[in-house]
Amino acid sequence: MLTAEGTVKIGDLGLAKKADDGGVEGGQIFGTPHFIAPEQAQGKPIDHRADLYALGATFYRVLSGKTPFSGENVKEILVKQVREEPVPLKKLVADLPDEMAAVIAKLMQKKPEDRYRSAQGLYDDLELIRVRYHLEAHGQAASARRSKVIAVVAVLAVLAVGGYAFHLATRPKEVEWRDRPEDTNGRNNDTTPVVVEPTPAEKAESAWGAMALEASKVYGACGTPEKTWQTHGDRWEGLAKRYSEFAEKHAGTPKGDEAKKEAEKIRSALETARTSWEARKAAALDAWLGLLAEARGLADAGQPAKAVALLDAKAKAQLEANPEFLPKEKSKEAADLAKAIVDDAEARVSPLIEAVRASAPKFPGHEFLAAAKTLREAREGLAPPTEAKDEPSVRLRGLSAATRG
């Protein structure tokens, strides 16, 4: 209170307690619902920062003419203290300086660690405001336009420093407010604690930390489901299951919805990776089988040299491009086919060579001419590229030379 002489006096000390008395007496919490800090309303340990919250709420009331929160009963007010944000003071007091609004907003942060660490920090900010707006220590200023702000700053400065002396000790946990019966004057006067149950969303938020930690361990060890589904598929499936269980337990909450999406994302990634892998495997095998079939077709058409050259050129390239789907054993499959093609060419051409040699004494008889023609036709498909050094090509080159001898 500010007297006519400009002296600041502190009154209404009916709830004042010494720090070593704690904040509870006979199972009751001392505090006014409209100004009590969220942690105090929940029965959590408190310190001087609860006083700073109450100070902010008090000056919210002084400046706006309204308490930060209102309700039908004490419990409703306390629940709002814990869960809701007050209407921004600038919306209620349009000409309030931004600096003052920021100070009060910081005083009324829900988490103690987000408020001023001590009354000294508050005092320092108020001193900056006092200097900027040319306020006198007794609350008077050169301009009447800021009269309301000036008075508040002066009183706030005094209370901030005084409040620093009232450090509240830790009080028993799990002490919360109950609805207080009204007295004959219609005012709540009982301070018996009650339970403020957390909402489903708050329960989900509280449990989310463990869920997020579990997920971070899996991602840290396994990378991503798209890349490690084969080596760590069980862990990814397990994480998706845990997300689904969380979503079911906390259905209808933001974190429950987020867990559901995470489970779906992991399962979708695993399915996409499997489908893509199967498609690439099928394409690689189809291409391999197509190569072998093409080589056999050339050999059957009397073009063994082209068949061997095709295998030599493309088999190695396909094996190098698809090591995940075409094991090294496949190279032996191609080599065996090339050998079989040459064996077949030899088995087909050798009798022709012998036929030409046998009919040569009868030259230019009919038998010789017919055998020579057949041999010339067979020779056309025997000549491999001169640069080819693989064994099948060398054998074909020798067979081709034999047809000319």
Find tokens 């337990």 and name the residue. 249
Q: Which CA distances in Å does 152 have to 157, 271, 312, 373?
A: 8, 64, 93, 120
pLDDT below 70 — which residues of the chain? 1-2, 11-31, 135-196, 356-357, 359-381, 383-389, 402-405
Structural domain boundaries, residue 60 = 19-163
- Report the CATH number at residue 79: 1.10.510.10
Token pair in block for residue 177: 């407010």
Do 148 and 222 reside in the same domain of the chain?
Answer: no
Q: What integer pLDDT is reported at residue 26 of this predicted model?
A: 47
* pLDDT value at residue 166: 43
| In a shared domain, residues 358 and 255 | no
Domain boundary among 116, 147, 163: 163
Tell me whether residue 7 is in a domain: no
Token digits for 360?
């040569």
Phi/psi for 325 (5° steps) reads -110, -20
Q: Specify the pTM.
A: 0.46
**Inter-residue contact 259 to 242 (CB < 8 Å):** no
Q: Are residues 118 and 68 in the same domain?
A: yes
Tell me, what's the pLDDT at 42? Answer: 83
CB of 52 closer than 8 Å to CB of 60: no
* Distance separating alpha carbons of residues 70 and 296, to the nearest angstrom: 89
Taking Cα atoms as reference points, which of 342, 279, 291, 296 lies closest to residue 317? 291
**pLDDT score of 336:** 92
Q: How far is CA 375 from CA 270, 346, 347, 394, in A?
A: 60, 12, 13, 19
**In this structure, what token pair is assigned to residue 107?**
């005083």
Q: Are residues 75 and 141 in the same domain?
A: yes
> What pLDDT shows up at residue 112?
93
CA-closest candidate to residue 338, choices 316, 305, 377, 387: 305
Structure confidence at residue 108 (pLDDT): 95
Q: Are residue 333 and residue 265 in the same domain, yes or no?
A: no
Residues 316 and 248 grouped into a single domain: no
What pLDDT sits at residue 16? 53
pLDDT of residue 57: 94
Domain assignment present for residue 9? The answer is no
Q: How much is the pLDDT for 184?
A: 40
**Is 190 a member of any domain?**
no
Burial class of residue 114, CB neighbours in 10 A (0-12, 13-18, 19+): exposed
Tell me the pLDDT tens digit for each residue of 219-269.
999 999 999 999 999 999 999 999 999 999 999 999 999 999 999 999 999
Question: Tell me: the pLDDT tens digits for 131-140?
Answer: 777 765 554 5
52 and 105 in a single domain? The answer is: yes
Based on the fold, state whether residues 249 and 327 are members of the same structural domain. Answer: no
Structural domain count, the chain: 3
Same domain, 369 and 264: no
The whole-number pLDDT of residue 130 equals: 78
